[in-house]
Amino acid sequence: DIQMTQSPSSLSASVGDRVTITCRASQGISNYLAWYQQKPGKVPELLIYGASTLQTGVPSRFSGSGSGTDFTLTISSLQPEDVATYYCQKYNSAPWTFGQGTKVEI
Amino acid sequence: QVQLVESGGGVVQPGRSLRLSCAASGFIFSTYTMHWVRQAPGKGLEWVAVISYDGSSKYNADSAKGRFTISRDNSKNTLYLQIHSLRAEDTAVYYCARETYSSRAFDYWGQGALVTVSS
């Protein structure tokens, strides 16, 4: 099975900072990559699919890029409401594996 | 609006069985592939199982093979997850999630059902 590895596991940044999270697949997955945001105590929410397509309603400060094995999630200007754990997920084929998560703090 | 509401969680003794339900509303349930995802306390998301829109195709994660059964009743707009021989490591919040048409990501999630396996 393809493994998904995120880095870093956690980060602390200031309001307004640019934040980048990396996700690496152990084999190529084309652009079948999604990013989810899970705020403390809340349900995960889809942010990005197809590696770079923003889900409806997601603020434009979020962006995704990459293809094949290396992907990034970028928050262009970190806001207090972005405190959350972010997960990547592959969905090109079963199993729909998640990365281990990246906790973002202010 | 789309709603997914899980039920059936609780405290269960090791070795017992449990069936989780996920009641869907606000969309045509019978046309969507559905998934179960779990999250152990303080841990990350773990994909568990998938079932096709008509129930004809199912697939479990390796960690869920043998003891977990995913099923659905489209006449009742309900998704199920049966778990047998529960173990302490099955303690988690179990989420049902809808797979999108446009991709295979999960666009709607239920609020989750907590399963605690303890004697």
Among the partner residues B45, B47, B106, nearest to A95 by beta-carbon distance: B47
Q: State residue B102's pLDDT score.
A: 81
Per-residue pLDDT for chain A (106 aa), expressed as one digit of tens each?
999 999 999 999 999 999 999 999 999 999 999 999 999 999 999 999 999 999 999 999 999 999 999 999 999 999 999 999 999 999 988 899 999 999 999 9
Contacts of B35 in chain A (CB under 8 A): 96
Closest residue in B to A96 (Cα) is B47
Distance between CA atoms of residues A59 and A79, nearest Å: 11
How many Å lie between the alpha carbon of B71 and the closest alpha carbon of chain A? 17
How many Å lie between the alpha carbon of B62 and the closest alpha carbon of chain A? 9
- Residue B45 pLDDT more than 90? yes
- Residue B103 pLDDT more than 90? no
Look-up of token digits 């303890």: B118
- Touching check for A2 and chain B: CB below 8 Å? no
- Touching check for A76 and chain B: CB below 8 Å? no
Q: What is the mean pLDDT of chain B?
A: 96
Inter-chain contact A43–B109, Cβ cutoff 8 Å?
A: yes
- Touching check for A98 and chain B: CB below 8 Å? yes
Distance between CA atoms of residues A98 and B10, nearest Å: 25
3-class secondary-structure state, position A81: helix
- Touching check for A58 and chain B: CB below 8 Å? no
- Touching check for A52 and chain B: CB below 8 Å? no
CB-CB contact of A96 with A63 (8 Å): no
Tokens, residue B54: 């008509």
Peptide bond just before A8 cis, omega within 30 deg: yes
Q: State residue B13's pLDDT score.
A: 97
